[in-house]
Structure 1
Amino acid sequence: MEAAKLLLALLVVVAIMVTVSRRLRVPYPVLLLLGGLAIGALPIAPRLEIPPDAVLVLVLPPLVYVAAFFTPIRSFRADIGNIASLAVGLVLASTVVAAGVALLIVPGMTVPVAIALGAIVSPPDEVAATAVMERLAVPRRVIALLDGEALLNDATALTVYKVALVAAAAAAPSLSPAPIGSFFVVAAFGIAVGLAVGWVVAWIRSRLSDVPVEITVSLLTPYAAYLPAELIGGSGILAAVTAGLYLGRRSSRIMGSDTRLAGRAFWEMLVFLLNGLVFILIGLEISALARDVDRATIAELGLAGIAVTVALLAVRAVWILAIAAWQRLVLRARDPLAPPEIGVLSWSGMRGAVSLAAALAIPLALPSGSPFPARNAVIAITFVVILVTLLGQGTLLPLVIRAVRLGADDDASAEETQARRELLGEAMRRIDDLYERWPGHRPLLDQIRTAYQHRAEHEEQLDEAPGSEAEQELVEHRQIRRDVIDAQRDALLRMRDRGAIDDDVLRNIERDLDLEEIRMEA
């Protein structure tokens, strides 16, 4: 009962803090972290007892799955070289550098534990960066690179993390070639399980037509990929990512329109709640750790965390500069990373949910029963890295974007306009064919044709003179349609209020009006 009350209270805090963050134009992960710190500092703050792998198993699979599901594959393929460099090369380099710093300054740190720490803090979390960029004009390529990096870097980091924990559990003083080689085996098993689960789920969902059941299956899918992969020694995160990519590419063929609309709303809400809880949990855990550790140790681990953070920032900046130099000097790329893009990508290295989950998932004891070496130090350093990067980089990222004058591009808008124009042409051709097939329905076909013709004319005018009277006319047309829909809603409510219809009838008709309004806004 107490756990349920605490969860409800945290959800209320998440809703309030996110609302405030949007009014203040501050990335919501930053404000949630501060809120968690403030709540955790209160004398009446609850003490959370989180099982070591709870966040890793319960939270991460759906987050990485849905990110993979909605990944734009063409953009992903177009920059796969840069994405792979960031998600694999940079993660491995960051792991090694962070581990080296930890070995130098943290007493009692063994090589496997240091590698585990490096893997924990190496993958950036794109949530804070996305929360900033969705409000600002940022090129599509930068967002695609960050999304692609976030999609794969978790799998890379957690695979290294898993291998390092195995070596640490064996009390090995260093990593031998055998565990290093097992990295590729773990990754291969994860991909294989993800593909198998994706194929099975696609087959099942193509035969379902019940929206609640389909959404339930979609919720279970990341766990169906993650858990078997972990069971056979593979990468569960990579399995969830692979399943998400596979199913996302096939979603238009295996899901109906109702399922797509309801499913997207469901996943947006779930991801929002999970991310919100994770970031406020980070604040609570940092406060709890600060209460349990003496000041001298806090200062020592705090300095170690800052040193690791600085090293991570430096590695990221150097790596991205090296990518740009390689593109310009060696590959002679036609579209290398520009200086503004380099600046924003270098500064978008905030850590978050993955680092928290991996740190908390470190076992309390080794198989021998002895305490896991330097566990508290690893967790403390991880929290410092998350705190510094979120509060520092997350807060300053909007200023960096404005300072480097990173402007938006029109590629996505142009693609959408062209796609809509082609669809309108296809619709007109199909209507012409339907005149012969349905000669008795000419009035209806004339009405549909007129509507599509009107839309086609608007698209053509907007393309010829964007921002012109045609655009204003489109705005006015939407307002007219919205007024008509609002009038129907008001009439519907009056009928319900006077008892002419029941609530279930209201909701059925209201759904049609909602869909009509969504269609109009699109």
Structure 2
Amino acid sequence: MEVLIVVIIAIVVIALATAVAPKLGIAGPLILLLIGGAVSLLPFVEVPEINPEWILVGVLPPLLYSAAVALPAIEFRRDFGPIAGLSFLLVILSSLVLGVFFIAVIPGIHPAIAVALGAILSPTDAVATSIVKRLGVSRRVVTMLEGESLLNDATALVLLRTMIASVAVATTVAGDTTVGVGFLPAFAWGVLVAVVVGAIIGFLNLRLRALIKNSAANTAVGFVVPFIAYIPTEELGGSGLVAAVVAGIVTGQGAARWFTPEQRRSDEHNWQTIELVLEGAVFLVMGLELSDIVTQNVQDHNGLGTGLGIAAGALAIIIAVRAGYVSLLVWLQSRRARGRQRSRLEAMSARIDEIAAGGAVRSGAAAERGTDAAASRDDAARPTASRRRRRNRRNEVSLDTPRAQRRLSSMRERVSRAMSDLDYYQASPLGWKHGAIIVWAGMRGVVTLAAAQTLPRDDTSDRALLVFIAFAVAVGSLMLQGFTLPWLVSVLRLERSGDDSLDRAEQSALDDELRDAAVAALSSPALRRRDGTEFSDDLVEVVGSRMVDPPDETDTLPTRDLLELRLAMIEAMRTRLNQLSSGGGYSTPALRHALAELDADQLSLELRLDDED
């Protein structure tokens, strides 16, 4: 009963802190951290020891899965290079530099444990993204921070586990204190297995849930997906967290095509709630445990000076390494935005149009390989111009063939996507001010706290000191950077993202495309009711003349027929929206907003149809 009361109180506190945070101008997790720390100082409060496995296995997989499902796919693809660098290269670089620092300042520490502690301190926390979003910083910066916090957790934990395993291997060889050379293959294997298993689980999740029509059963299946991806991956020696992330990305990108509107809207609200409760609980527990960790270090090290000094040095190194890496990243991205690629892309687009107008497309080397030796000998005896015409005819395929049409369409899509990407880079360039925000928003949090407690008790000397260093870095980072980030944004005078006129213009253009798709569907012979029957010509003509306005209650036409026709047009618009999603011409927020509107319209129409029955 006591545990139940504590859980109820914790959920209420998390909800209230989240509700009050916007009014106070402070991120909810920071408020929970302060509340937990204050409660831990009360003499009658006894905080039980929490097994870190509960956080690593029970909390992080659904948290990372939830973030992966909501990942902005188009922007993530465009900035995957920088995100991968922040998530992989920067984590490994920071871990190695910190490892050298810990070896120098902590006598007798095992090199692998030093690197493991560096891996614990390297990943950033998603709380930074929520703060940056609230401050209205560039959406490109937000996407990069989201992607980094999503992927670097898995990188750090794979590296941590590999280092801890190498300690056990090294200590069995005559007390050797060197890091085993097998950690690189183990790291690669852990990521590879995770990607494969996560992709398979994500695909199976889409197919299975598409077959389950009961909404409650469908939701229940969705809740266990991150754990289904995590458990077998860990058994195979891979990273379960990477698998959960991959499964979430696959599910999130396939939801628009495979799930029903009810499933999508239900998933969105359910995972937002789960994310709120789990993340808030971790920060609350972090504050509650702080008092005991401080007390233990005071007893073991005659004060906190040693731990705080090392933690301050580690935090300074983290920020310095991150600043150097981000500076290089911003410089490379600015060069990319200034690259003179548009003229080349426009020339390629014009060439594709020329080929389409000419009625033939080059088939490439395949046609040349299909010629026989006799034709080659005949060509040798012909005049040069004749041979050239014959060769050109061999290398051309009529556009009337499906293969040529598909190839031409694919070429056009690639060029269009490349031009849209270039527009994106030039419209939202990264400058030194954005780089400063990326550096300062790299706060430590949930993963650092949970991972610190997984350090082995038997093979780790001064374990309490190492855990305290991790907690001090996480708390110091959240307090120092979290509370000063709004001030930094104000000082830099960055332009706020989300310009209403630009958003409305983009949404209006997308609405026009979807409306055109609905009008085109009215003249399609494939337009049918849900039961497969055709619509009357009078009904289609009337609705077409109204430019697909929603049906009116006062309409003289049968209401049920209007509702059915509207549902058919929504399906045509959703099909067009899925096509536009892969083109890169519209941002992910605009596409998701349009999809949410279609889903809401469909649910409303289906409810009215149910009332008609």
| TM-score tier (shorter) | 0.7 to 0.9
More moved, 322-331 vs 311-320: 322-331
Corresponding residue number in structure 2 for 1:102: 102
TM-score by length of 2: 0.69
**Maintained 8 Å contact 1:61/1:237:** yes
Residue identity matched to 2:433: P
Residue of 247, 253, 271 corresponding to 2:251: 247
User: Does 2:507 align with 1:416?
Assistant: yes
How many Å apart are 1:405 and its aligned residue? 1.9
Between the aligned partners of 1:409 and 1:262, the Cα distance in structure 2 is: 26
Corresponding residue number in structure 1 for 2:20: 20
**Maintained 8 Å contact 2:36/2:285:** yes
User: Does 2:292 align with 1:194?
Assistant: no
Alignment of 1:227-306 (within 5 A): 227-294=231-298, 296-306=302-312
Corresponding residue number in structure 2 for 1:486: none
Residue identity matched to 1:15: A
**Maintained 8 Å contact 1:431/1:449:** no
Corresponding residue number in structure 1 for 2:439: 346
Residue identity matched to 2:275: V
Corresponding residue number in structure 2 for 1:45: 45
Residue identity matched to 1:46: E
TM-score by length of 1: 0.81
Between the aligned partners of 1:222 and 1:404, the Cα distance in structure 2 is: 40
State the secondary structure of the residue aligned to 1:289: helix
How many Å apart are 1:332 and its aligned residue? 5.8
Between the aligned partners of 1:399 and 1:185, the Cα distance in structure 2 is: 43
**Maintained 8 Å contact 1:113/1:373:** no
Residue of 187, 190, 214 corresponding to 1:210: 214
Residue of 542, 549, 559 corresponding to 1:451: 549
Residue of 438, 448, 462 corresponding to 2:536: 438
Between the aligned partners of 1:453 and 1:87, the Cα distance in structure 2 is: 50
The Cα offsets for residues 303-322 of structure 1, whole Å up to 9 and x where unpaired, read as: 11111111101111111012
User: Does 2:395 align with 1:389?
Assistant: no
**Maintained 8 Å contact 1:112/1:164:** yes
State the secondary structure of the residue aligned to 2:266: helix
Between the aligned partners of 2:42 and 2:9, the Cα distance in structure 1 is: 15
Corresponding residue number in structure 2 for 1:307: 313
Corresponding residue number in structure 2 for 1:152: 151
State the secondary structure of the residue aligned to 1:45: coil
**Maintained 8 Å contact 2:206/2:259:** no
Residue of 463, 466, 490 corresponding to 1:378: 466
Residue identity matched to 1:422: E
User: Does 2:520 align with 1:429?
Assistant: yes
State the secondary structure of the residue aligned to 1:233: coil
How many Å apart are 1:344 and its aligned residue? 0.7
How many Å apart are 1:421 and its aligned residue? 2.0
How many Å apart are 1:123 and its aligned residue? 0.6
**Maintained 8 Å contact 2:33/2:286:** yes
Residue of 212, 224, 245 corresponding to 1:220: 224
Residue identity matched to 2:298: D
Q: In structure 2, do the counterparts of structure 1 residues 85 and 438 end up closer, same or farther at CA, with 3 Å as the change threshold?
A: same
Between the aligned partners of 1:428 and 1:363, the Cα distance in structure 2 is: 65
Larger radius of gyration: 2
How many Å apart are 1:427 and its aligned residue? 2.3
Between the aligned partners of 1:4 and 1:450, the Cα distance in structure 2 is: 53
How many Å apart are 1:279 and its aligned residue? 0.9
Between the aligned partners of 2:213 and 2:161, the Cα distance in structure 1 is: 39
Q: In structure 2, do the counterparts of structure 1 residues 422 and 281 end up closer, same or farther at CA, with 3 Å as the change threshold?
A: same
Residue identity matched to 1:378: L
Runs of 5+ unmatched residues, structure 1? 367-371, 455-510, 517-522
User: Does 2:206 align with 1:118?
Assistant: no
State the secondary structure of the residue aligned to 1:53: helix
The Cα offsets for residues 157-188 of structure 1, whole Å up to 9 and x where unpaired, read as: 11101101101233352222212332111111
Runs of 4+ in structure 1 over 6 Å off:
none
Corresponding residue number in structure 2 for 1:487: none
Corresponding residue number in structure 1 for 2:69: 69
How many Å apart are 1:298 and its aligned residue? 2.3
More moved, 340-349 vs 290-299: 290-299
Residue of 442, 449, 469 corresponding to 1:356: 449
Q: In structure 2, do the counterparts of structure 1 residues 99 and 297 end up closer, same or farther at CA, with 3 Å as the change threshold?
A: farther
Between the aligned partners of 1:105 and 1:330, the Cα distance in structure 2 is: 41
**Maintained 8 Å contact 2:133/2:142:** no
State the secondary structure of the residue aligned to 1:294: helix
Corresponding residue number in structure 2 for 1:480: none
Q: In structure 2, do the counterparts of structure 1 residues 86 and 210 end up closer, same or farther at CA, with 3 Å as the change threshold?
A: same
* Aligned-residue RMSD, C-alpha: 2.7
Corresponding residue number in structure 2 for 1:83: 83
Corresponding residue number in structure 2 for 1:477: none
How many Å apart are 1:363 and its aligned residue? 3.6
Residue identity matched to 1:174: T
Q: In structure 2, do the counterparts of structure 1 residues 27 and 347 end up closer, same or farther at CA, with 3 Å as the change threshold?
A: same
**Maintained 8 Å contact 2:68/2:246:** yes
Residue identity matched to 1:313: I
Q: In structure 2, do the counterparts of structure 1 residues 430 and 182 end up closer, same or farther at CA, with 3 Å as the change threshold?
A: same
Residue identity matched to 2:331: A
**Maintained 8 Å contact 1:28/1:131:** no
How many Å apart are 1:412 and its aligned residue? 5.7
Q: In structure 2, do the counterparts of structure 1 residues 332 and 182 end up closer, same or farther at CA, with 3 Å as the change threshold?
A: farther
User: Does 2:323 align with 1:317?
Assistant: yes
State the secondary structure of the residue aligned to 2:455: coil
How many Å apart are 1:255 and its aligned residue? 1.1
How many Å apart are 1:204 and its aligned residue? 1.2
The Cα offsets for residues 276-330 of structure 1, whole Å up to 9 and x where unpaired, read as: 1111111111122123332634221121111111110111111101212334569
Between the aligned partners of 2:192 and 2:548, the Cα distance in structure 1 is: 55
Corresponding residue number in structure 1 for 2:563: none
Q: In structure 2, do the counterparts of structure 1 residues 265 and 69 end up closer, same or farther at CA, with 3 Å as the change threshold?
A: same
Between the aligned partners of 2:538 and 2:125, the Cα distance in structure 1 is: 58
**Maintained 8 Å contact 1:351/1:386:** yes
User: Does 2:493 align with 1:405?
Assistant: yes
Q: In structure 2, do the counterparts of structure 1 residues 262 and 195 end up closer, same or farther at CA, with 3 Å as the change threshold?
A: same
Between the aligned partners of 2:464 and 2:289, the Cα distance in structure 1 is: 12
Between the aligned partners of 1:199 and 1:512, the Cα distance in structure 2 is: 29
Between the aligned partners of 2:14 and 2:545, the Cα distance in structure 1 is: 48
- For these two proteins, the number of residue pairs brought into alignment is 454
Corresponding residue number in structure 1 for 2:420: none
Give percent identity, aligned residues only: 32
Between the aligned partners of 1:440 and 1:389, the Cα distance in structure 2 is: 67
**Maintained 8 Å contact 1:29/1:390:** no
